[in-house]
Chains A and B, each alone.
Chain A
């Protein structure tokens, strides 16, 4: 992705939209650097969910009265906004789930386990995936006898692309990859990977949990077959996720949940499914969550995803430069910000990541520590844990400076 023209976000104005950023932690300014785990929410999103409950709470698709019409209109409106946000051909290619995890499980179950995958069929993943893009495929291996293969990661944090030459064969049925790593920040060449998957007749499943909040996504340009992401990492509420699927693949996918909403007709002992995407939305959905996510998408779209990406590239470049100057501090992942997002994993000599996070916490700085739900990747780099700072639209250079000052404090304690 080319570096966009310099667009400076109005970070003070953005910060003012986030009530939580007005609070202090132990009398210190809150420096929130854990957006890769979950983002904070602007008041527009908070108000939208509260507005739903205050003004037009009713179940969707069923109620024959005005409130139900309003809730259905807003819920389906959110679906349309999300379809436009990722350039889907139609809102019917968007299913609401509770999370990226559920979305990926839905594909593994409905397309893999209950669908197309036979014994000996191969699924090609990568070593850098989040556990939620590993474990669902384990189920397919365990229940269908599928064979799992993995593309390795180079020391610089990028995929060993040449390994696809050997791994992709006519036995490959599914190729799965994250668009952006939650540990290394690496942005993977998904368009090329999808093309190569299609050349051997496989489908490409994309985990976009770390990408959708931070960069423009065009599912048609990527030619992704399925693409999953979560609302809560992109300014939306928790408990709402998205699965994009090409129409014909959605049709060929079995539902994960049976129950209300997802059926056309039910008889004793049998049922016919509703149309896509409704057949994937069994039970009363997270209506407020979907509406809130729609407003989050409005918020991001108004800023512009190119501008979001540009801002994060600037702040990441600045932070990486500052961290590189600190002796005894290592960062992981690509050094070139064109190849990475604003997720910066780091370690400090002599200080365990958990201690780093505790000491930064006392300074009001929130970072993550641990294996980041990516144990195979941590094993690949022979790291028990890292600390991780991640940036978003409400972060600025002052936040990066606070991180650097906090790291110096850690080094003082463990000197």
Chain B
């Protein structure tokens, strides 16, 4: 059965405590706000895009360890990537957190694989994917708040 440490791995706890790219970007070319009303999580994602490439990305907000660590890991993972690559990465990430427990983890996900334990806790999938949905909204330049009900 699901073990606590599978969900709360050291990398996750580290990114929760010291989130990377946790700042605003003053000259952001796109931003979006994500909201998970279930746990009150709120995240704002900032992007600086150059010719379809994510030159810089950051986030601010409050949330549980899973959502914060996921946002932090995401910013590291998509920085320098094209919009299309970022989108494909999200698809693979989403597949991992909604997989059946025990399914092999996509090796191309790199560090993001520390969140694979989330698939054992279906109620936490929204926490892990909030920042990604918000990134998608920012990339599509949707202005409205993304809400995961």
In this complex, which of B7, B17, B42, B65 has the most chain A Cβ atoms within 10 angstroms of its Cβ?
B65
How many angstroms between the C-alpha atoms of A351 and B4 in the bound complex? 14
A355→B64 contact, CB < 8 A: yes
Number of A positions contacting B (CB below 8 A): 20
Partner pick for B39 among A27, A350, A354, A409, CB 8 A cutoff: A354
Chain B residues touching A, range: 20 to 34
Specify which chain B residues have a CB less than 8 angstroms from the CB of A27 in the assembled complex.
1
**Counting CB contacts under 8 A, is A331 at the interface?**
no
How many angstroms between the C-alpha atoms of A56 and B37 in the bound complex? 44
A354→B2 contact, CB < 8 A: no
Contact with B along A343-387 (1 / 0, CB 8 A): 000000011111100110010000001110000001000001100
Closest chain B CB from A268 CB (angstroms):
42
Knowing A352-B64, A414-B65 are in contact, say whether A358-B124 is a contact too (CB < 8 A).
yes
B4→A362 contact, CB < 8 A: yes
| Interface majority SS (helix, strand, loop, mixed), chain A | mixed
**CB-CB contacts below 8 Å: A24-63 with B:** 26-27
Partner pick for B13 among A352, A385, A409, A414, CB 8 A cutoff: A414
B121→A352 contact, CB < 8 A: no
How many angstroms between the C-alpha atoms of A311 and B41 in the bound complex? 36
Residue of A nearest to B61 (CB): A384
Knowing A369-B39, A414-B13 are in contact, say whether A359-B127 is a contact too (CB < 8 A).
no
**Counting CB contacts under 8 A, is A200 at the interface?**
no
**CB-CB contacts below 8 Å: B1-34 with A:** 1-4, 7-8, 13, 16-17
Partner pick for B66 among A350, A355, A362, CB 8 A cutoff: A355
How many angstroms between the C-alpha atoms of A370 and B62 in the bound complex? 13
**Counting CB contacts under 8 A, is B104 at the interface?**
no
**Counting CB contacts under 8 A, is B38 at the interface?**
yes
Partner pick for A413 among B2, B4, B37, CB 8 A cutoff: B4
Contact with B along A327-355 (1 / 0, CB 8 A): 00000000000000000000000111111
Closest chain A CB from B148 CB (angstroms):
13
How many angstroms between the C-alpha atoms of A369 and B13 in the bound complex? 20
Residue of B nearest to A356 (CB): B64
How many angstroms between the C-alpha atoms of A370 and B65 in the bound complex? 14
Partner pick for A370 among B3, B40, B42, CB 8 A cutoff: B40
A384→B1 contact, CB < 8 A: no
**CB-CB contacts below 8 Å: A234-287 with B:** none
How many angstroms between the C-alpha atoms of A358 and B40 in the bound complex? 15
A26→B37 contact, CB < 8 A: no
Specify which chain B residues have a CB less than 8 angstroms from the CB of A350 in the assembled complex.
17
B40→A355 contact, CB < 8 A: no
A354→B64 contact, CB < 8 A: yes
How many angstroms between the C-alpha atoms of A362 and B117 in the bound complex? 13
In this complex, which of B4, B7, B38, B66 has the most chain A Cβ atoms within 10 angstroms of its Cβ?
B4
Closest chain A CB from B42 CB (angstroms):
7
A378→B40 contact, CB < 8 A: yes
In this complex, which of A352, A370, A409 has the most chain B Cβ atoms within 10 angstroms of its Cβ?
A352
A413→B40 contact, CB < 8 A: no
Which residues does B use to contact A, with CB under 8 Å? 1-4, 7-8, 13, 16-17, 37-42, 62-66, 68, 121, 123-124, 127
Which residues does A use to contact B, with CB under 8 Å? 26-27, 350-355, 358-359, 362, 369-371, 378, 384-385, 409, 413-414
CB pairs A–B below 8 angstroms (19 shown): A352-B39, A353-B40, A354-B39, A355-B8, A358-B121, A358-B124, A362-B2, A362-B3, A370-B39, A371-B37, A371-B40, A384-B40, A384-B62, A385-B40, A409-B4, A413-B4, A413-B8, A413-B13, A414-B16
